[in-house]
Structure 1
Amino acid sequence: MQQHTTSYYAASRNQHVDYPELLDSVECDVCIIGAGYTGLSTALFLLEQGFTVTIVEAAKVGFGASGRNGGQIVNSYSRDIDVIERTVGARQASLLGAMAFEGGRIIRERVARYGIECDLKDGGVFAAFNDKQMKHLEAQKRLWERYGNDQLELLDSRRIRDVVATNRYVGGLLDMSGGHIHPLNLALGEAAAVVSLGGNIYEQSPAIRIDRGDRPVVHTPKGQVRSRFVVVAGNAYLGGLVPELASKSMPCGTQVIATEPLSEELAHRLLPQDYCVEDCNYLLDYYRLSGDRRLIYGGGVVYGARDPANIEKIIRPKMLKTFPQLAKVKIDFAWTGNFLLTLSRLPQVGRLGDNLYYSQGCSGHGVTYTHLAGKILAEALRGQAERFDAFASLPHYPFPGGRMMQVPFSALGAAYYQLRDRLGV
């Protein structure tokens, strides 16, 4: 039986609900595979439109990236709208750009509608180490404003020290439509909302086979779900269930630590406005305060999703570079989680046959995108596919060298960009 990882989030979750294992044959309109943000968001939108929905989950609600991530509400996609414009042209980019800030609004609407307690805070900062990164943020501000985000402020070298107590940055960009949450409590609250609307959730019920056809059947070890539609929402934890989805994506691990609770004075000194922060490096660091004033600090990527032997040894030096004043602070939690990387760094959305839909490959930008994905998947199942098609028509390619070479090629590319970050070029 798979339980939540030993993270701060699991230790501080609001609910300790055990949903039943699937032991029978059930029927519904839509079977969703995976009880992370993509699956939960899709279920809520469908249930609100009158569909009957069953979710099968291999472990626990929020077991994967949805319950382990840095908890930051970051807008847009892992490749920004200007890259999309150059790749697919103005019309498709305008559709995707119009959706770039929708995920955060969906999260806030869900929290308000269903009374989800997840320590929601407004405000996220992108921090620049050098003038080149600052020029990028200036261009990003113009780009995002062109697509409707009017909650942005450039921070010069003085202003950024007003919001984060470190001398590492030359400036930054504050996005007040960003923010941060307790990610597992958000997932658990959304699951409770699914059940309140009549949806069914089965834990410890991995999908082991899908019989495709007019009425597809999702098989678990002890049961099955027959439905009109199937939505595959397993992301980095899907495994080989759908072979067509495996060659163009790669699970990657990221590491996070959480300190002991800080004094109110120290926490306020580090992050006076309680914004979350991520830097502008290719292999970026990200951090924020928890609801009980712990510093949650993450960074680094392990290609191929291997678990490092000593997470604190990897992340603590990064934290101390930013905040040397935490040298004597104890680390209470250290954990890792997987996200799904695509070669384009853009999400993969599509349909296999007439009734098997999927969304995956958030590439580290999943908290907001997955909530948007639920909405566009639900729209497509209702026959409104324009926004779904805007994502589905994005070009995607397999990693060079096939699956055997995914990890070394990606790690080599990352090392190149990491060197550029260090040199500031």
Structure 2
Amino acid sequence: MSYIDTFYRRTIDDNCAFPVLSDIAECDTCVIGGGLAGITTALQLLRAGQAVVILEAERIGWGASGRNGGFVSPGYAKDADAIERAVGADHARKLHALSIEGMKFVRDTIGELDIVAAAPTHGIMRVVRYENSQTLLARADYLQREFDYSVEYMSRDQVQDVLRSKRYFQALRDPQAFHIHPLNYLRAVAREIERLGGRIFEGSPALSCDFSRSEKIVRTARGEIRTRRVVVAGGGYTTGLIPKMKRSFLPIATYVMMTEEAPDLIRQAITTTDAVGDNRRAGDYYRVVEGGKRLLWGGRITTRAASSAALAAELRREMARTYPQLADLKIETSWSGLMSYARHLMPQIGQLHPDVWYCTAFGGHGLNTTAIGGKVIAEAILGESDRYELFKPFGLVWAGGIGGLTAAQLTYWKLQAQDWWRERSSV
């Protein structure tokens, strides 16, 4: 079964299919990649009156943009303190403000297009698995002071009142952040793109590009696009179409499982509709779905594809360790997907050649950053802003190839060991 057949088979809004490119098409901008970054870029360009074509190798949202846990909240995969050390305090504040804007863009788009099928639910809890109250209080104060952004500190008693696990200590709850059905969101935006006159071609991977002239050529197996500009917005499944981009990220696999329908059992452990993520690197994230009937649980990363069923068994063991009362909860299905991670753990957003743009490496960042990436690229193309340059310090650096994957796996194991030690020290 595909991930669409499993995770989404009960809830997917699947009234969305597009043809294969089989002719010559002309446009102002060709977007390669039908994930959230590409879809957002196209939407903004169409709203400004451009002619836009999207090429998607599979289906809209087929990659990480449609397979993820649906969390929409500010921030980046790279730690906030590490970003500040890399670019300075003022630059770091501007980057964080962009991530807040990206979250609001997704929320506003859901409202403007009345995307009921996205099922937005407000509230995300970031829990810690060891005593860390002072750090959380300081973070809450910083967000309020610097961004006028309010999050709620939760004591251990407050956390355990809604998450009945001895594993958890304190939390920051973000009432403005929310979680959604990501594939339904993407497909609704795709329908809006079509309504605005945009053309979307599925099953049409870009096989070659010619950027040598003012008119760019993008070729597929059965057709070609003639365009003034190209935006490459791929992810973990990006091919070697542009070697420099392919070399700049690592394809990292992550895993998600969905439980059987058992609302009464789930309520014995979790009594909140908030999505939950813990503070470990590649830690657990989960949320109740389908009105509390099922639990969606994700986590773990590997640097090469592994059996999603085997990893789901590992996730299930972690779920039962966190919530012993869920030991009998069965897993109905599981799936995996490839994210693109840059070595510097930040998104890669910028200009490759004149009129050729890239917008990629969003692994671990959430839907907010992917959206703002598409938005700032569209602004640059339209001459409205140069905000994309805020990401310039985090460019297309070589990710290290096979050696990079090995280093990433070793780093993950090291971080897991550090997490284990901190948790053990807090028991």
TM-score by length of 1: 0.94
Shift of 1:260: 1.4
Q: Which amino acid aligns with 1:304?
A: R
Supply the distance in 2 between the matched residues of 1:54 and 1:285 (Cα, whole angstroms): 37
Supply the distance in 1 between the matched residues of 2:10 and 2:402 (Cα, whole angstroms): 37
The equivalent of 2:143 in structure 1 is 144
User: For each residue in 1:36-87, what CA deviation from the matched residue of structure 2 results, as whole angstroms up to 9, or x when unmatched?
Assistant: 1111111111111111111010001110001110111131111244322211
Supply the distance in 2 between the matched residues of 1:176 and 1:101 (Cα, whole angstroms): 13
Supply the distance in 2 between the matched residues of 1:237 and 1:383 (Cα, whole angstroms): 30
Supply the distance in 1 between the matched residues of 2:309 and 2:285 (Cα, whole angstroms): 21
Q: Secondary structure at the match of 2:161?
A: helix
User: For each residue in 1:85-104, what CA deviation from the matched residue of structure 2 results, as whole angstroms up to 9, or x when unmatched?
Assistant: 21112342232122121121
Shift of 1:307: 4.5
The equivalent of 1:226 in structure 2 is 226
The equivalent of 2:74 in structure 1 is 75
Q: Which amino acid aligns with 2:370?
A: T
8 Å CA contact 1:74–1:367 kept in 2: the answer is: yes
Structure 1 residue corresponding to 2:403, chosen from 402, 405, 425? 405
For residues 205-220 of structure 1, what are the structure 2 equivalents within 5 Å? 205-212=204-211, 213-220=213-220
The equivalent of 2:159 in structure 1 is 160
Moved more, 147-156 or 213-222: 147-156
Which segments of 5 or more consecutive residues in structure 2 lack a partner in the other structure?
none
1:416 correspondence with 2:414: yes
Moved more, 94-103 or 228-237: 94-103
User: For each residue in 1:152-174, what CA deviation from the matched residue of structure 2 results, as whole angstroms up to 9, or x when unmatched?
Assistant: 01111111112322221111110
Moved more, 287-296 or 81-90: 81-90
Q: Which amino acid aligns with 1:274?
A: T
8 Å CA contact 2:309–2:334 kept in 1: the answer is: no
Q: Secondary structure at the match of 1:99?
A: helix
Shift of 1:118: 1.0
Question: CA, structure 1 residues 4+327, in 2 after alignment: closer, same or farther (shift >3 Å)?
Answer: closer
Q: Secondary structure at the match of 2:183?
A: helix
Supply the distance in 1 between the matched residues of 2:332 and 2:373 (Cα, whole angstroms): 34
Q: Secondary structure at the match of 1:170?
A: coil
The equivalent of 1:278 in structure 2 is 277
8 Å CA contact 1:255–1:300 kept in 2: the answer is: yes
Shift of 1:5: 4.8
Which segments of 5 or more consecutive residues in structure 1 lack a partner in the other structure?
none
For residues 11-410 of structure 1, what are the structure 2 equivalents within 5 Å? 11-116=10-115, 117-132=117-132, 134-212=133-211, 213-263=213-263, 265-292=264-291, 293-308=293-308, 310-394=310-394, 397-399=397-399, 402-410=400-408
Supply the distance in 2 between the matched residues of 1:253 and 1:149 (Cα, whole angstroms): 36
User: For each residue in 1:6-54, what CA deviation from the matched residue of structure 2 results, as whole angstroms up to 9, or x when unmatched?
Assistant: 4312553112432100001000111001111111111111111111111
Root mean square deviation, CA, Å: 1.9
Question: CA, structure 1 residues 376+48, in 2 after alignment: closer, same or farther (shift >3 Å)?
Answer: same
Supply the distance in 1 between the matched residues of 2:270 and 2:170 (Cα, whole angstroms): 15
How many residue pairs were aligned? 420
Supply the distance in 2 between the matched residues of 1:360 and 1:10 (Cα, whole angstroms): 28
Moved more, 73-82 or 330-339: 73-82
Shift of 1:306: 4.4
User: For each residue in 1:322-361, what CA deviation from the matched residue of structure 2 results, as whole angstroms up to 9, or x when unmatched?
Assistant: 2222222221110001111111111111111111101111
User: For each residue in 1:370-400, what CA deviation from the matched residue of structure 2 results, as whole angstroms up to 9, or x when unmatched?
Assistant: 111111011000113421111123356433x
8 Å CA contact 1:278–1:284 kept in 2: the answer is: yes
8 Å CA contact 1:23–1:223 kept in 2: the answer is: yes
Percent of pairs identical after alignment? 33
Shift of 1:149: 4.8
8 Å CA contact 2:57–2:203 kept in 1: the answer is: yes
Supply the distance in 2 between the matched residues of 1:396 and 1:351 (Cα, whole angstroms): 10
Q: Secondary structure at the match of 1:42?
A: helix
TM-score by length of 2: 0.93
Supply the distance in 2 between the matched residues of 1:3 and 1:209 (Cα, whole angstroms): 28
Question: CA, structure 1 residues 11+335, in 2 after alignment: closer, same or farther (shift >3 Å)?
Answer: farther
The equivalent of 2:6 in structure 1 is 7
Shift of 1:269: 4.4
Supply the distance in 2 between the matched residues of 1:348 and 1:144 (Cα, whole angstroms): 25
Q: Secondary structure at the match of 1:270?
A: coil
Supply the distance in 2 between the matched residues of 1:160 and 1:366 (Cα, whole angstroms): 23
Question: CA, structure 1 residues 249+306, in 2 after alignment: closer, same or farther (shift >3 Å)?
Answer: farther
Q: Secondary structure at the match of 1:237?
A: coil
Q: Secondary structure at the match of 2:214?
A: coil
8 Å CA contact 2:106–2:371 kept in 1: the answer is: yes
